[in-house]
Amino acid sequence: MIFNLAKETGWPEKTLLWETPFARLLHYYHAALRSHDLWTVKPGPSAAIQLDTLGKAFQAFQEFARLDTPDDEE
């Protein structure tokens, strides 16, 4: 990982190993992978699909809540 990151950034390995915080190294590694169209995690569904699914779940919850509440006409 460090050798590839040094190659991508042009920084010496010594700088990457001893002077760069680990969280920043991981960020740089992730960015280097993304620049080559590689994913560190599997891409999820698009935001539109997630929003539609959430909307349907909320509608089902509202319907369930309507059925679960007692009628006021007793």
Q: Tell me the per-residue pLDDT of 18-72, one tens digit each, with 9 for 90 and over.
A: 888 989 888 888 888 888 888 777 778 888 999 999 999 999 999 888 876 666 5
**What DSSP designation does 36 have?**
T
pTM above 0.85, yes or no: no
What pLDDT, on a 0 to 100 scale, did the predictor assign at position 56? 95
1, two tokens: 């990982």
Kindly tell me the sign of the dihedral angle through the C-alpha atoms of 27, 32, 34, 40.
Answer: negative
The CA-based angle 37-32-27, given to 5 degrees, is 120
The whole-number pLDDT of residue 5 equals 80
